[in-house]
A and B are shown apart, each in its own frame.
Chain A
C-alpha cells in the first residue's frame, strides 16, 4: 500500500507525531500468538519518555492501557494530545449524529471552542 512497515521502535524518532493504538485483545483468540506476551510487547514497543524526543507529539484514540502500549508519564505529559483528541472525537460524533437526525449541516456563527464543550 506504499507505506513502509518496521518493527524497530527506534524508527519513531523521525516522526512528528507518534500515534499509538492499543492491542485489541478482544479480537485475538487465545493461542493466536500475535505477540508472545503483553509484558514483552510493552518492553519492546511501549511508548516511554525514553523512546521520545523532546517536543514529539503523541496521539492515541483511547482507551489507553497504561503501562502496556503507553507509559503514564507519556499519556499525562504536555506533549500528549490525547485529551484534546478524545474531546474532538466527542464533538465530531455529536455533530455527525445531529446532522443525521436533523435537516443537515447548519452554519455556525462562530467556531466552536473545544474547551466549552466537554
Chain B
C-alpha cells in the first residue's frame, strides 16, 4: 500500500439527512449514512433511530471524499513553506481523503532512504492518507534513471520529475520501459524548455501588451505529442500533468482514440482563469504551465466534461511569503490550492452551469484514484468511510488566517466563494470538522 497516515481512532457516527451523491455508484438521494469504527455500516432512510453520534446534515451534500494526485508538501528541505502535517491538514480542510506528494524536494526523493524517511514521517504526521511519488531521474537531472524497482518496493506511488521536463526522448523511452517492470505509472510534466525559456506567462496578446516574456502553448503541446508517441510505441501507461492548452487536449483525444493508456489532469486555476488575469501582475497568478486564453480554458472544460481529462489536481505549490512578494518576473511559479479547489470550481464551473456537480465530484475523487490505482472512495456499505460533507449554499471569503497550509500564495485571496467543505472523513477517521459531530 502506498498511502500512509498517522494512526487515529476510527470514527463512529451518523450523518443525518444529507443528499448523498455518489456519481460512481449512481446514488443521489437523502439518506442517513451510518459509520461504525470507520466503516460505512448502513445507508438508511432518513429519520431512523440508528444510534451513534449525529452529524446534522439536512440541506448538505455528502459525497465521496477527494483525491489529489499532485501536491507539493515541500518536505524534506522547505519545511518553512509546508510540512507533511500542515499540507495534509490543508488537504483535510479541502475535503481530500488521499494526496500524492511530488519528489522535487531537497534532497530529491530519488532513493529509498529519502522515501523511507518520508513514509515514516507520514506515519507520524499525516492527517490523511498520503503517498509519495519518486523521481524518474537521479537528482531530477534528466540523465540517469533512479532505482525504480527499489523505490517501488519502498512505496513509491508513481514516478515523476515534476517541475522539470525529461529533456531526452531516449531517457523518456527507457523510463517508460523500465517503469513498466515496476507496475508504476510515469506522471509527466510536459514542457519543451527550449521554447518556454524565460517565459513569464502565456505568449500571446496579453504578454505582448504587458511586455513579459512568453511561454507559448506549443512549448507544452510539442512535449505532450512526443510523450504520447513514446507511450504508444512502448505500450506503457502515462499520466499527463497539469494540461493547459487546447492543442494538448486534441493530442490527448487522438491518442485515447488510438488506444494509448493515457490519463490527464487539469488544475483549478487553469479551469477557472485565463491569461487576462495576469494583467494584475499579482505573483499569485504566476504558475507553470501559465494561464492560457479562453479558448484553451474552454477546451479543458470540455475535456473534463467528456472525461478525456479524468482528474482534477491542485498542483498545490506553497511558496514562502518573501519569495512571492516580489516583482512578477522575479517570483517563482506556483500557487496553493488544496483548501480552495472545491469552492473555486463549484463557484466558477458548477454555479454558471458549465459543469455538473456530479462531474466535478467524480473528477476530484474517482478519476484521480483510478489513474494511480488508489482505492476509489465509494459510498457503499462495507467500504471504509472516505466522505466529504459540502454546504453548497455557504458563501465564504478566502483569507490568510483561514489557511492550514503554512503558505498563503493563493490566487483566491480576498475572493468570496460559494460552496464550503464542512466535514472530511479520510480512511474512516474524521480529519476535518469534528466539531460538527454532536454528542
Contacts and interface: CB of A to CB of B under 8 A. Distances in A.
Contacts of A39: 147
A31 B174 CA distance: 10
Contact of B144 (A8, A31, A43): A31
Interface in B169-187: 170-171, 174-175, 178, 180-181
Which residue of A8, A31, A36, A40 has the most chain B CB atoms within 10 A of its CB atom?
Answer: A36
Contact of B146 (A31, A34, A36): A36
A40 B149 contact: yes
Contacts of A34: 174
Contacts of A26: none
B145 A33 contact: yes
A32 interface: yes
Contact of A35 (B143, B170, B171, B178): B178
B148 interface: yes
A14 to B, nearest CB: 19
B325 to A, nearest CB: 41
A107 B372 CA distance: 66
A40 B174 CA distance: 15
Interface in A70-105: none
A84 to B, nearest CB: 32
A32 B144 CA distance: 8
Interface string B130-146: 00000000000001111
A37 B147 CA distance: 7
Interface in A1-42: 7-8, 31-37, 39-40
Interface string A26-62: 0000011111110110011000000000000000000
Main secondary structure of the interface of B (DSSP, over half): helix
Given A43-B150, A44-B149, A36 B144 contact: yes
Nearest to A35: B178
B144 A33 contact: yes
Contacts of B149: 36, 40, 43-44
A7 B147 contact: no
Main secondary structure of the interface of A (DSSP, over half): loop
B143 A31 contact: yes
Count class of interface residues, chain B: 10 to 19
Contacts of A35: 145, 178
A34 B91 CA distance: 38
B155 to A, nearest CB: 16
A27 to B, nearest CB: 15
B181 to A, nearest CB: 4
Contact of A36 (B148, B170, B180): B148
Contacts of A43: 149-150
Nearest to B171: A33
Nearest to B180: A7
B143 A36 contact: no
B267 to A, nearest CB: 31
Nearest to A37: B147
B147 A36 contact: yes
A4 B148 CA distance: 23
A33 B148 CA distance: 12
A43 B143 CA distance: 22
Contacts of B180: 7
Contacts of B148: 36, 40
Contacts of A33: 144-145, 170-171, 174-175, 178
Interface of A: 7-8, 31-37, 39-40, 43-44
17 contacts: A7-B181, A8-B181, A32-B174, A33-B144, A33-B145, A33-B171, A33-B174, A33-B178, A35-B145, A35-B178, A36-B144, A36-B145, A36-B149, A37-B147, A40-B148, A43-B150, A44-B181
Interface of B: 143-150, 170-171, 174-175, 178, 180-181
Q: What 9 A-B pairs are tightest by C-beta distance, nearest first?
A: A7-B181, A40-B147, A36-B145, A33-B174, A44-B149, A36-B147, A33-B145, A40-B149, A40-B150
Given A32-B174, A35-B178, 11 more contacts: A7-B181, A31-B143, A33-B145, A36-B145, A36-B148, A36-B178, A37-B147, A39-B147, A40-B147, A43-B149, A44-B149
